[in-house]
Amino acid sequence: MHRATRPSHPTFGTLRTRKATLVSSTPLAPTLSAPGAPKRTDPPVPRKRRPLRNATRVVPLLPAVVLLVVFLLGPVISSFYGSFTNSALTGASAANQQFVGFANYVELFQDPDFPKSVVLTIVFLLASAVVGQNVLGLGLAFLMRSANKVVRAVVGTFVVAAWVLPEIVASFAAYAFFNDTGTLNTFLASIGITGANWLYTYPMLAVILANIWRGTAFSMLVYSAAVSEVPEEITESAEVDGASGWQRLIYITLPVIRRSISTNLMLTTLQTLSVFTLIFVMTGGGPGTNSSTLPILAYQEAFKFSQLGFGTAIATILLVVGAVFSIIYIRALKPEVD
């Protein structure tokens, strides 16, 4: 006889699989979320743009934009156009200026004084701003950070005083210091040294030192704020690991304040390119043209020789030089911004 086979009972795993299949295949099956599980949220509905609201936000900026266009962009466009004309202060060209194309620029590049003025401008810029003000400002920032109160008060007063003085006052003070019978030669004579006629023999050296004295305070303040933001735990860890002061400066401090260095370089460069009063009061561009930078040369051509078109051509070249330096510094800042 054959015995009837008894159906085997499903195991627990089989029942759980069937139950899961049944639940998943049942339409409109309610889902219960476990305690603590994130709730299901619908995708956010994009908000409708409100052009009227955006326009009202722009309205308060319109006065500032208008002022920038009128007083900043307007003179730049007018100067650029004037460099292509024969505009003058006297003569027939003063009453009826004409468009002459690139004639002013051709004459400018043929003028023997122009290359000399460009070289003097670059020397003045590199020596007084890029090297002088930045290096001395960074050194003073470290000195003010580590020195006692008396040293900080004396150095801060002497350096900041030159910056807060009106430019014309600081220029006459520098002239009185470097003059043939001025403070410097009087001091040298008191110790038995005959001083030189600094403004005649070394005019560029005199104006470079005066501009360093005049603008170092700004760099000192910028670097003082930047150095204070360097994390102390990093420098302390490097000191514990045996790093010297120069190594901490080169490998820690300078990379951390790199962005501040680039910003300060750009600001001091643009300010130094436009220095006019200091040089005009101290040397007048002389003797001859030995201290005639581009701003001085532009002034002499435009107002001393009454050739406005020729002078504005020099000013346009100066604007291009400033733009080139600005692009260099902005590209140096770009990795930090990105």
Residuewise pLDDT in 10s, the chain (338 residues): 444 444 444 444 443 444 444 444 444 444 444 455 555 555 555 555 566 677 777 888 888 889 988 888 888 898 899 999 999 988 877 878 899 999 999 999 999 999 999 999 999 999 999 899 999 999 999 888 888 888 888 888 888 888 888 999 999 999 999 999 999 999 999 999 998 999 999 999 999 999 999 999 999 999 999 998 888 888 888 888 888 888 888 888 998 998 899 889 989 999 999 999 999 999 999 899 999 999 999 999 999 999 999 999 999 999 888 888 888 888 877 655 44
Q: 132 Cβ partners below 8 Å, 6+ apart? A: 208, 211, 212, 216
Helix axis angle, 134-146 to 258-273, nearest 10°: 130
Check which CATH number belongs to the domain holding 186 and give it.
Answer: 1.10.3720.10
Q: Other C-beta atoms within 10 Å of 155: how many?
A: 15
Is 290 part of a structural domain of the chain? yes
Look at residue 19 in the predicted model and tell me its pLDDT.
43
The answer to whether residue 132 sits within a structural domain is yes
Q: Is residue 233 part of a domain?
A: no
The answer as to whether 319 is a domain residue is: yes
pLDDT for the residue numbered 22: 40
- What would the pLDDT profile of 271-308 be if each residue is shown by its tens digit? 999 999 999 999 999 899 999 999 999 999 999 999 99
Report if residue 173 sits inside a domain.
yes
How many structural domains does the chain have?
Answer: 1
| Residue 140 within a domain | yes
Answer yes or no: is 166 within a domain.
yes
Helices 258-273 and 308-337: crossing angle in degrees, nearest 10, is 180
Instruction: Kindly tell me the burial class for residue 308, based on how many C-beta atoms sit within 10 Å of its own C-beta (0-12, 13-18, 19 or more).
Output: buried
The pTM of this model reads 0.78
The residues, ordered by sequence, that sit 6+ positions from 206 with a Cβ below 8 Å of its Cβ are 174, 178, 198, 199, 282, 283
Q: Which domain holds residue 287?
A: 112-224+257-337
**What pLDDT score was predicted for residue 50?**
64
- Residue 110 in tokens: 């043929």
**What CA–CA distance (Å, rounded) separates 327 from 320?**
11
